[in-house]
Each structure stands twice: as C-alpha cells, then as structure tokens.
Amino acid sequence: MTNLTEQKLNFVKELLSWFRENKRDLPWRKNKNPYHIWISEIMLQQTRVDTVIPYFENFIDKFPTIEALANAPEEDVLKAWEGLGYYSRARNLHSAVKEVKASYGSVVPDNPKDISSLKGVGPYTAGAVLSIAYDKPEPAVDGNVMRVLSRYFLIEEDITKVSTRTAMEKIIREIIPSDAASDFNQGLMELGALVCTPKSPKCTTCPVMEHCDARLQGKEEALPIKKKAKPPKLEQRLVAFIEGTGTNEGKILIRQRPGKGLLAGMWELPHYLTENPLKDWMGSEELNEDFVIDQYALETGTELGSGQWMLDINHVFSHILWDMKVYQFTESHSLIEKEAIQLSSEYRYAWISLDEVDEYVFPNVFLRIFKEVKRTK
C-alpha cells in the first residue's frame, strides 16, 4: 500500500469513524454469527432493509442453526419466504445450507473458493459474509457501494455492466483496511443507504464530501450512470376462482406451478393468458368467461359452469405486468375421472378451503386476491 493517494486514505479514515458513530441497530448486527449474516445477505438482495427485518427475525426463530435449516422441509423454508419475492433465493439457500452441513461440518466456509461454490452466493454475498462475519479483507460491492464509489471517484461507467463492478472490486482491494474489513464494507453500504442516496444525496452531512469528485464538479445527482431497464411486458390474464360442489362444497381449486421459472413451485389460482391483448380489455365479459371455460377444459378435462366477474387486480414483476381479471365459477361436472386432472397438465391441483390458504405457499398477488375475496364475502 505505497501508492495510495491522499484521497483514498482520507476516505477510509473518515468512513470508519462515521460508521462507528452512525450505524443502525439492525437484527443481523447483534452478533457475528456467520449463519445469521449469510441469511441476512441473501434476504437483502434487491430487497429493502425494512422489508427484510421481520422476515429475518421469523426465519432465525424458525431455523436457528445451519442444522435446523438443513433438516427442514423445503416447503417450510418457502413458507418462511412467502411474500419476500425472488423465491429461488430460498431454494438456493436451502440447498447451500445442506451442502454446508454435508461438506463443511455445518460451519459457513471462511474462504472465497468454498463460499463462492455455494448456490446463491455470488461475488457480492461471498465478500459480504467473509468480511462482515470473518473480517476478511474481501470486497463486497453492491449497489450502494457502486453509487458511493462512482460519485467519490467520479466513475462514469455504466454500473449495470459486470466490468464496472469488477473494476470497483479492484479499487476496494486497494483501500480496504486489513484490520477493519467488516466496518469498512458495512460503512460503505451504510453511507450509500443513509447519506449518499440515489436521489437528493445529503452531501452537507457526508463524512467524505471534502474529497468527493462528483460533488466538487456538481455531478453527484447525475451519478451513477445506469442503463435504464426495459419496461415490463404486458400480459392480460383471466383468473378462475372456482368453487367446488358435492364433495368439494365450500372449497376452491388451486394449482401448483412447475418447479422452474417464474414463481417456481408456488401455489396459485388457475389463470390463462389471452392470445391478443385488447387494449383496456375491450372484449366483453362473456367472451372472457368463455375463454376461461375453454382453457380450463383443455387443461383439466373438466367443465365449469357460467362465470361472474369478481375483481380486477394488477401485479408488476420486474419484467412482466399481469393485468388480471378474476371470475368466479362453480364446478359443474367432470367430463373425465377426477384422478386424470393431473395427467393432462404441468400443474398439480388441490381443493382447499379459504381457511387452509396459510398451509400453502402463495405469491403475493394471490394473497391479495384472497384477502379481497374474504373482505367482500
């Protein structure tokens, strides 16, 4: 460390001092338990701190140790993740924890090679766990860090590019203090979260504002450079809220999605993508209901009675916008044997009462539909 500029040395000193005075009291900062740090880092991927806190506390309560999580059924793990989004994180975490139990004596690996081999652990998470839990001087470059660095050093590269992140990891390796890696990395992220915010950065109270190149040139609001994401693709979907008759009296029909892709393995109400999205649903309600009846028959070989509009609801994913209309149907009669339902479809089906909803894992949009239905009835 002989060619460090004064700008860099100043940055480390002021950042550490600021962090130790201003760090938030967060649940995963109560101790240095590597398992806890790991869980928090997975949950925090693309997810706000305030959203994560209750999930983290419940998760640690349900699965206090590596062994407890490794031994838990996947369904229980997903249930604890319900509503948090990006459900592959939960599956990968569960798989990785089993691997830690099997291959590392239930101890979270403390070196880059081993920890990076775990499912769901990428460059950021590997560095975060190694530095925060084990004080290893590894970079943990997330969106906060890239925003802070891009401003402080006036880096005008697109931060959505991998090459930009690796360049920043190189900068961190040059300046990360070997005796304070944990506080340094956390300090960078904390500064980005509390002071060097995306909009209206609070430069007047920033501990490193004096040498911040972006601020000195009045460019802090223009950084970081980030390519705009494509708008979500519109999908108009017709949802079937099907109430059972006979032995299914008082129940509704749900189905489980395939194990891969969007909302993998989650339960939902049956719903069908319209072929030609008509702007603002110009088609008639009758045509919509007939479409559902036809699609449902094709998928399950079972007939539905006439439908009735229940509610409209939208849900935005990162890349898809579901514009949904929910119709209520009653089970009419089976065209074929009930057991055949599962044979003609990539979905599994189940009749449940609304009171049993909490025994299955549903993505948020369907929980909202259930809540609305319960409120209305």
The binder of DNA chosen from 10, 22, 67, 86 (CB under 7 A):
86
- Residues with Cβ < 8 Å from 258, sequence gap 6 or more? 264, 265, 346, 347
C-alpha to C-alpha distance for 69 and 63, rounded to whole angstroms: 5
44 binds DNA (CB under 7 A): yes
Residues 272-311 within binding reach of DNA (CB under 7 A): none
171 binds DNA (CB under 7 A): no
DSSP E strand stretches across the chain: 233-243, 252-256, 267-268, 271-273, 302-304, 308-316, 320-334, 348-352
144 binds DNA (CB under 7 A): yes
Q: How many residues bind DNA (CB under 7 A)?
A: 60
Task: Supply 368's token pair.
Answer: 């909202």
Quick one: DSSP state of residue 2? -
Closest CA to 332 of 240, 265, 228: 240
236 binds DNA (CB under 7 A): no
122 binds DNA (CB under 7 A): yes
Q: Considering the complex, what minimum distance in angstroms separates the CB of residue 184 from DNA?
A: 14
The binder of DNA chosen from 9, 167, 193, 350 (CB under 7 A):
193
88 binds DNA (CB under 7 A): yes
133 binds DNA (CB under 7 A): no
C-alpha to C-alpha distance for 48 and 57, rounded to whole angstroms: 15
Nearer to DNA, 189 or 240 (CB): 189
Find the catalytic residue in 14, 21, 41, 299: 41
**Can 6 be counted among the known catalytic residues?**
no
The binder of DNA chosen from 54, 64, 83, 283 (CB under 7 A):
83
Q: Considering the complex, what minimum distance in angstroms separates the CB of residue 128 from DNA?
A: 6
109 binds DNA (CB under 7 A): no
Amino acid sitting at position 289: E
Cα dihedral 47, 51, 56, 59 sign = negative
Q: Considering the complex, what minimum distance in angstroms separates the CB of residue 322 from DNA?
A: 9
Nearer to DNA, 170 or 333 (CB): 170
- Convert 170-180 to b/e letters by CB count within 10 Å (16 or more is b): ebbeebbeeeb
From residue 61, alpha-carbon distances to 70, 73, 167, 325, 373 in Å are 14, 16, 39, 38, 31
85 binds DNA (CB under 7 A): yes
Amino acid sitting at position 42: I
Q: Give the catalytic positions in this structure.
A: 41
Binding residues (CB under 7 A) for DNA: these are 26, 28, 40-41, 44-51, 83-88, 92, 119-126, 128, 142-144, 147, 161-163, 186, 189-190, 192-193, 198-200, 226, 228-230, 260-264, 315-319, 363-365
